[in-house]
């Protein structure tokens, strides 16, 4: 498919690299960030804070309206900060892709989920790229941030863009820079996390690095987009495999009758060669359960079968069933049948202090419990309602006097605002999958942990 008729041609004597360098350094470059979620919005806000004029582009009209009313959908961006940028004219949300034509720098920060077949679904990336191409003009820098399989930028996007008749590194600039935003992390904000950049040409890499250098303390330039794509995947493969190791280690420790976390903490006292990972009820979020599968899928085309990654996935995905098995055994010892039991789940988000429930193991556990006839309530200050098996559950508020009415309190997310002292004081049985009650005064056989 040719896009040549849709783009604007300018005299070839213009040095677009030098022109864009000047705009970036002067903060006069117009920036558009496609996708205003956990990744795109913080980036848009940071560039706005540094004086750039930023458009947050999103296909959701409701989200665009909320953003333009100064209401942030993510915990990392305060409403007041968003409102200030709106007042200064540094940030505007839009669902009109025509704004791409006047943009100097375009970031693509859209979802890249997996299909049921475990194949990467990059349709959002392709749709975004097609929209950019419809409004492409010489002198633009386009950076893909969405996590994807190695080769996407060079093998898929580059031919699409060069089919317009323009040359990468000369007429337009294309790079990949993996997102590294950690929602809810108060210690590492956007500026604190180094950015990796890999461009189609050295000039593409240089421009991307210069651009991100305006908002982050450190930029790491690599030799190609594929290196940058693989770096992101390796980060999450590393986490997935080590979490799986911690989860399997917890099963072994249970058989041996020792505390998993005590063992891990003891090992973590070694000042070198060790990084602690802890067991949990499974893995969730938009990265660890999904990203490693991109690499497994890609390697099939090179006749290479990954082994560690699928094994880690198998172990991590088995943890929800293990949690339910632990609960069943604990209730049986108290002569309480799982069918008909009353259970209070603490937390349904995939990690502490965020409202993100994507791929959350808590949802799988709750759905399974309901399927076994368990009466489940849940508490989560960040998630007011969830949909399980076609029915809506609303978060409840539970006082100390009500905790004793539940046969088991199941801690699935260790939100910092939860009163774990109250839970220990009043609950008769606690299954703590996050170590939230560790160090609190508990009764014998009151608390079970992974």
Specify whether 109 is catalytic: no
User: Do the domain assignments include residue 233?
Assistant: no
Q: Which two tokens stand for residue 37?
A: 């979620």
Q: Tell me, what's the pLDDT at 6?
A: 53
User: Can you list the residues of the chain whose pLDDT is less than 70?
Assistant: 1-12
Q: Tell me, what's the pLDDT at 1?
A: 47
Residue 159 sits in the same domain as residue 108: yes
Q: Tell me, what's the pLDDT at 12?
A: 57
Residue 270 sits in the same domain as residue 174: no
Cα–Cα distance between 313 and 297 in angstroms, integer? 14
Residue 142 sits in the same domain as residue 199: yes
Residue 161 sits in the same domain as residue 65: yes
Residue 384 sits in the same domain as residue 327: yes
Residue 383 sits in the same domain as residue 262: yes
User: Do the domain assignments include residue 6?
Assistant: no
Residue that is last in its domain, among 190, 223, 256:
223
Residue 298 sits in the same domain as residue 160: no
Residue 344 sits in the same domain as residue 201: no
Domain count, the chain: 2
What is the residue range of 171's domain? 14-223
Residue 270 sits in the same domain as residue 212: no
> How many CB atoms are located within 10 Å of the residue 244 CB?
24
Q: Do residues 157 and 129 lie in contact, with contact meaning Cβ atoms separated by under 8 Å?
A: yes
User: Do the domain assignments include residue 229?
Assistant: no
Residue 268 sits in the same domain as residue 358: yes
Q: Tell me, what's the pLDDT at 255?
A: 95
Cα–Cα distance between 211 and 205 in angstroms, integer? 10
User: Do the domain assignments include residue 285?
Assistant: yes
| Catalytic, out of 109, 204, 253, 287 | 287
As a whole-number percent, the residues of the chain with pLDDT over 90 amount to 90
User: Do the domain assignments include residue 8?
Assistant: no
Q: Tell me, what's the pLDDT at 243?
A: 97
Residue 100 sits in the same domain as residue 141: yes
User: Do the domain assignments include residue 360?
Assistant: yes
Q: Tell me, what's the pLDDT at 184?
A: 83
Q: Is the dihedral of CA 357, 358, 361, 365 positive or negative?
A: positive
User: Do the domain assignments include residue 443?
Assistant: yes
User: Do the domain assignments include residue 2?
Assistant: no
- What is the pTM (predicted TM-score) of this model? 0.92
Residue 207 sits in the same domain as residue 260: no
Cα–Cα distance between 159 and 148 in angstroms, integer? 17
**Can you give the CATH number for the domain in which 140 is found?**
3.40.50.720
Cα–Cα distance between 171 and 46 in angstroms, integer? 27
Cα–Cα distance between 364 and 348 in angstroms, integer? 10
């Amino acid at each position: 498919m040719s896009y040549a008729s849709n783009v604007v041609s300018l005299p070839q004597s213009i040095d677009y690299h030098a022109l864009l360098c000047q705009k970036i350094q002067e903060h006069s470059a117009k920036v558009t960030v496609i996708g205003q979620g956990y990744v795109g919005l913080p980036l848009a806000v940071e560039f706005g804070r540094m004086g750039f004029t930023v458009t947050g582009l999103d296909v959701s009209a409701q989200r665009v309206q909320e953003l333009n009313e100064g209401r942030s959908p993510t915990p990392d961006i305060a409403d007041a900060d968003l409102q200030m940028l709106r007042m200064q004219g540094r940030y505007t949300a839009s669902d009109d892709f025509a704004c791409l034509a006047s943009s100097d720098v375009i970031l693509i920060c859209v979802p890249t989920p997996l299909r049921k077949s475990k194949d990467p679904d990059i349709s959002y990336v392709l749709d975004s790229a097609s929209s950019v191409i419809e409004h492409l003009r010489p002198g633009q820098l386009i950076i893909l941030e969405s996590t994807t399989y190695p080769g996407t930028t060079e093998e898929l996007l580059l031919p699409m863009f060069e089919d317009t008749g323009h040359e990468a590194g000369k007429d337009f600039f294309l790079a990949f820079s993996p997102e590294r935003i950690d929602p809810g992390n108060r210690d590492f904000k956007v500026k604190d996390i180094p950015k990796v950049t890999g461009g189609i040409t050295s000039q593409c890499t240089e421009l991307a690095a210069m651009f991100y250098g305006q908002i982050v303390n450190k930029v790491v330039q690599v030799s190609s987009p594929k290196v940058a794509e693989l770096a992101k995947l390796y980060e999450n493969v590393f986490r997935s495999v080590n979490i799986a190791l911690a989860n399997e280690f917890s099963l072994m420790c249970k058989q041996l009758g020792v505390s998993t976390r005590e063992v891990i903490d003891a090992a973590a006292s070694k000042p070198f060669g060790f990084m602690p990972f802890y067991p949990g009820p499974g893995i969730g979020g938009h990265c660890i359960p999904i990203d490693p599968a991109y690499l497994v899928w890609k390697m099939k085309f090179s006749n290479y079968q990954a082994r560690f990654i699928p094994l880690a996935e198998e172990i991590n995905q088995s943890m929800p069933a293990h949690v339910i098995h632990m609960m069943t055994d604990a209730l049986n010892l108290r002569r309480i049948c799982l069918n008909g039991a009353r259970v209070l789940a603490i937390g349904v988000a995939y990690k502490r202090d965020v409202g993100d429930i994507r791929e959350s193991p808590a949802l799988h556990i709750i759905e399974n419990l309901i399927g076994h006839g368990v009466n489940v309530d849940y508490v989560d200050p960040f998630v007011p309602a969830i949909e399980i098996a076609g029915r809506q559950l609303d978060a409840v508020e539970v006082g100390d006097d009500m905790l004793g009415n539940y046969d088991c309190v199941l801690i699935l997310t260790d939100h910092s605002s939860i009163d774990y002292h109250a839970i220990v004081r009043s609950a008769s049985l606690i299954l703590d999958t996050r170590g939230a009650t560790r160090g609190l005064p508990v009764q014998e056989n009151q608390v079970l942990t992974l």
